[in-house]
Structure 1
Amino acid sequence: MNIDFAQPPSALIRGRRSCRTFSRKSLEENAGRSLARDAASLRQGLLGERASFSLVEIPEKAGVRFSSYGLISGARFFILGAISRSERFRESYAFLLEHLVLKACELGLDTCWVGFFRPADFKNFGPLAGDERPAVVVVGYRAARERLRDRLIITSIRASRRRPWRDLFFKGELDTPLSELEAGAYALPLEMVRLAPSSGNTQPWRVVKEPGSPTFHFYMKKVRKGYSARGLHELDTGIAMAHFDLTCREANKPGTWVLSPPTPRHIASDIEYRWTWKGSA
């Protein structure tokens, strides 16, 4: 990763709030230039996938709309990306894109993840043949007044509420909760996972810590069938992974993402293994 943050990532994660009503204001020159530079620097996914990102402006006359998500107004600037296919390309893509979302936050910009959109709206911006664009991010400045519709949406999905630790984090097995005290130095990174945004606020990630080892297995629970079918739960998991990785580095505890499923164990049919983070000894 080539993105440097002036502020602690945990502070950016706590401070970011999704925006659905944007003003038509142009991006400040320094902010736009910095975000575009960082976007261009992300070229490889977690499994070596070919990746590319760019900051683009699409004039209002282009009439960009979001299928099943036609609730964003004032969308003018977008972070668009593409990634080559792999067995985990959606998580890898979201992991990279969330770094840019947090960088935008640091630059004073507002953002909104969009997983439902019409590829035709962005046909002039790739992706290359064989690559995928799992999501886009709207970026800009929050409008002075929030629409009533936005407030109703936030209320309906309980956007600010998060599941308790006992539902998300475990030790050894998925039926043994991990407490914040037991998490020790990894309590902050796990809390940042808990605070991650997700489709419909479904929070599909589940994390198991190996006893006596800085090793964490990330699982994904199929909370909503429609979201799972569209790959949105995988994007959500990738965002949570970015939060974990960034705040581990903030705490000077770097690690590596690998595909290393633990010894087969009995787990519910709606939960599947996705990734493992191995901390440096």
Structure 2
Amino acid sequence: MEINEIIKSRYSCRTFIQTSLKPADKKNLDSFIIENSKGLGDEAINFRIIEKDVSDKQMKLNYGMIQGHNTYVLGTSKSSADSRVNYGYLLEKVVLKATEMGLVTCWIGYFDKSFFNEISIEDGFEIPGIIIAGYSEEKQPYLDKFVRFAINASKRTRWDKLFFDYKSKTPLNPTQTGKYSESLEMVRLAPSSGNTQPWRVFFDETENEFHFFKKPISKRYESRGLHDIDMGIALSHFELMSLQNDLSGKWLKHANGIVRTMDDLQYIRTWKCG
């Protein structure tokens, strides 16, 4: 299954079957997590699969309506924007691997951290977010359909509101970016907190670089660092689609002043083509 198909088939499940992961699925997912723990700037983030017995008091979620959850993937990051971006970048790869395996998932940004006493949180670190993983009924339950409708989960912002030419600041269209148009489309389809899509991408044709900026949409999400996670998810989608299309490149974090500021946008990362 190709990455664009995986991204398009992924959805946020809110009604899970109350059961643990099959041993083979847990082993495969855990192996993937271990092999993919190093992220941007070589920062390592160690994620764990945590399963709770149905007899345990079920975690209270402050976001959405989730039923039947008992398997979670989470870790800790530094309490900084860059580290939270990395957290989202790495954990979204786990989400897509789980999707490829036939599991369903849901990103959660509001949760009871005390529920995860297995995780030791050092000073200066945090659990930015978690994913729930598991199985669902073949037919999408009414609750899932209702919540997706309520938050407009399937709606995505148009190209001309997300992607721009770096010099002119005018909107890009897919014909201007060649094969990278697919990479940008996978960014457009990425999940985000409340479906706010806080990413804005500028293509510098002269330097052959894509500059990723964050546009804080929700004060509530921004204050909790959720927009940083959103940005990491977007970077992950862009990279995976680019690599599938044999488009080599690498992530850079330019020093202050190299990438010019853009109004109310915050510079995050740059993809250097080739």
Normalized against structure 1, the TM-score is what? Answer: 0.90
Alignment of 1:1-281 (within 5 A): 7-69=1-63, 71-143=65-137, 146-173=140-167, 175-260=169-254, 263=258, 265=260, 267-269=262-264, 271-280=265-274
In structure 2, how many angstroms separate the alpha carbons of the residues matched to 1:19 and 1:231? Answer: 22
Task: Name the CA distance, whole Å, in 2 between partners of 1:220 and 1:187.
Answer: 20
Counterpart CA distance in 2 for 1:169 and 1:262 is 21
What is the deviation of 1:276?
0.8
Q: Say whether the 8 Å CA contact 2:251–2:272 is kept in structure 1.
A: yes
Task: For 1:38 and 1:148, locate their aligned partners in 2 and report how far apart those are by CA, in whole Å.
Answer: 32
More deviation in 28-37 or 186-195? Answer: 28-37
Instruction: Indicate conservation of the 8 Å contact 1:19/1:112, yes or no.
Output: yes
Q: Partners of 2:149 and 2:257 in 1: how far apart? A: 38
Structure 1 residue 147: deviation in Å? 4.9
Distance 2:96 2:65 in 1: 22
Contact residue 197 and residue 239 of structure 1 kept, 8 A: yes
Conserved? CA contact 2:81–2:225, under 8 Å? no
Quick one: distance in 2 between partners of 1:266 and 1:115?
A: 29
The Cα of 1:10 is off from its aligned counterpart by 1.2
Q: Aligned partner of 1:51: which letter?
A: I
C-alpha distance in structure 2 between counterparts of 1:73 and 1:191, whole Å:
31
**Deviation string, structure 1 residues 190-222 (Cα, Å, up to 9, x no partner):** 000000001110001000000244310000111
Q: CA deviation at 1:83?
A: 2.6
SS at 2:190 equivalent? coil
Q: Any idea what the Cα deviations from partners look like across 1:82-131, whole Å, max 9, x if unmatched?
A: 23455500110110001110000011100000111111010123345543
* Identity of matched residues, %: 37
Q: Contact 2:193–2:230 at 8 Å: present in 1 too?
A: yes
Instruction: Flag the 1:252–1:202 CA change in 2: closer, same or farther, 3 A.
Output: same
RMSD: 2.0
Q: Specify the SS of the correspondent of 2:270.
A: strand
Task: Answer whether contact 1:65 1:121 (CA < 8 A) is retained.
Answer: yes
Cα offset, 1:153, TM superposition? 1.9
Instruction: Structure 1: state its 5+ residue gaps.
Output: 1-6
Change (3 A) 1:70 1:13: closer
Q: How many residues align?
A: 273
**Aligned counterparts of 1:16 and 1:264: Cα–Cα separation in 2:** 33
Distance 1:110 1:230, change over 3 A: same
Structure 1 residue 78: Cα displacement: 1.0
Counterparts in 2 of 1:137 and 1:87: CA distance versus 1, 3 Å: closer
Letter in 2 for 1:195: L
Distance 1:123 1:166, change over 3 A: same
